[in-house]
Each structure stands twice: as structure tokens, then as C-alpha cells.
Amino acid sequence: MVMNTRRAALGLLAAALVAGVASTADAQVRFIERAPPPVIVEVAPPAPHAGWAWVQGHWAWRGHRWVWIRGHYVQGVVEAMPAPLVEAPPPPPGPRFFWVRGHYVWEGNHWAWHPGHWVR
């Protein structure tokens, strides 16, 4: 009985130590997000032709920075940009990485979701 009590106590102590190490390691991981800058307000000029629709300006991640894609007209119908998807970033792959938030970009004739990802 004494041996089982000792084993149980040692097991609890080991679990507490592992939990303490895990929480210390988690506390050292810094979540740094590279969110897009504020939206630039653009006023749509008159449409060049009947049947053309305005694609609102938006930020897109290109290479290692956010780039503003100016609003422009396209032929056809343009749906409003969907609401951003809520993402839970996975742990960073290493130190000095930052999270680029997922975002929509106009591609061809539709809004395409570009998922968030870690970059260095």
C-alpha cells in the first residue's frame, strides 16, 4: 500500500513538472501577427461601359509585404468581398516567425481566400 502511494505521489509530481515545463515553454512563444494595414478608401469613378462592375481595393500579401491592389472595373458581376474566415494559427515553426493573416484577393472573376501562414 505504501509503495502504491509513493508511485501515485511520484506520478503526480512528474505530471506537475511536465505541465510546468509546458506552460513555461508556451509562455516563451511570442505570437506576432503581420495584419494588413487599414483599408484605403477609394471612390469608384463612373463605369467605363454598361455591364462593368467595381472590384473594391484590398490588401494582398505579396512576397514579404502587404501590397495595396487598387479598386478597378471588370466586365460582369462582382460579389461583395466575403467576411474574413476566422483562423486559429498553429504554433510557429520556430523563433522569429510571424503570422500573416488570411485574406481574400480578387483573382480572375472571383474572391479567392489566401489562408494565413507563418513567414520569417
What pLDDT digit, counting tens, does each position of 62-81 carry? Answer: 989 999 999 999 999 999 99
Q: Average of pLDDT values for 28-32?
A: 64
41 CB neighbour count, 10 Å cutoff: 8
pLDDT at 37: 96
d(CA 84, CA 111): 11
What is the reported pLDDT for 32?
83
Which among 37, 75, 69, 38 is positioned nearest to 56, based on CA atoms? 69
pLDDT band at 25 (very low <50, low <70, confident <90, very high): very low
What angle is formed at CA 36 by the lines to CA 118 and CA 62, rounded to 5 degrees? 60
Q: Mean of the pLDDT values across residues 40-62?
A: 97
Averaged pLDDT for residues 19-30: 44
Domain coordinates of the chain in residue numbers?
Answer: 31-119
Per-residue pLDDT at 89 exceeds 90 = yes
Q: Which pLDDT value is given to residue 12?
A: 43
Q: At 70, list the grid cell.
A: 487598387
pLDDT at 21 > cutoff 90 = no
Instruction: Give the tens place of pLDDT for each residue, 40-49.
Output: 999 999 999 9
Q: Cβ neighbours of residue 51 under 8 Å, at least 6 residues apart? A: 75, 76
